[in-house]
Amino acid sequence: MIQMTRRAALVGLGCALTSSQAWAEPDQAELRLRRPATGEFLVIRNWPLTEVDHLRASLLLRDVKDAGEAVWVDPLLIETLARINVLADRLIGSATITITSGYRTIRHNSAVEGAAQNSFHTRGQAADYQIAGITAPACAQLAAMVGAGGIGLYDSFNHVDTGPDRTWDQQSRRIR
């Protein structure tokens, strides 16, 4: 069971990193997204998010298990992933975020075991991800440090969304 607060997350990784410092130079932030289900790879370097990058990210995050249906994902989700990428880069060098699930149709979501009925995945506001070289608990801490809303910690991946502040893990389903 984890009970993360932003303060605890900062203590966990040392106080040298704060989200404001990490985002102090947004022009240099690079978001690298990989979608193993399709082999796609996307790099976003321009901030604030441009329309074309928003489109590219929305397509990468489409529902690959339900006819490739896509929606415009929440731009804040993309920015949150970019902030996580910045911190991940500081930890391990050049990090890439592997997306295992993005937007889900309601039909697909209802077939996912344990998924909330009105999951933020169905609104284009959530992503499940992994970062090679960073453990899932550390990824959850990075997400907390950049001020993500929903943070879910699972055995081999993390969930992040732009909904209200909540934290849970696979066992407890605890919501803060």
CB of 132 to Zn ion, least distance (A): 19
27: CB partners within 8 A, 6+ apart: 47
* Number of chain residues interacting with Zn ion (CB under 5 A): 2
Q: Per rule CB under 5 A, is residue 63 in the interface with Zn ion?
A: no
Q: Coil, helix or strand for 93?
A: coil
The answer to whether 88 and 142 are in contact (CB under 8 A) is: yes
Q: Does 159 bind Zn ion (CB under 5 A)?
A: yes
Helix (H) or strand (E) holding 34, with range, is: strand 31-35
d(CA 149, CA 146): 9
Site string for Zn ion, 116-155 (x = CB under 5 A): ------------x---------------------------
Report the run of H or E that residue 88 belongs to, with start and end.
Answer: helix 75-92
CA-closest candidate to residue 48, choices 19, 22, 20, 78: 78
The least CB distance from residue 24 to Zn ion, in Å, is 29
Q: Does 89 bind Zn ion (CB under 5 A)?
A: no
CB nearer to Zn ion: pick between 82 and 143: 143
Tell the smallest beta-carbon distance from residue 116 to Zn ion (Å): 9
Q: Which residue is nearest to Zn ion (CB)?
A: 159
CB 148, min distance to Zn ion, A = 12
Residues that bind Zn ion (CB under 5 A): 128, 159
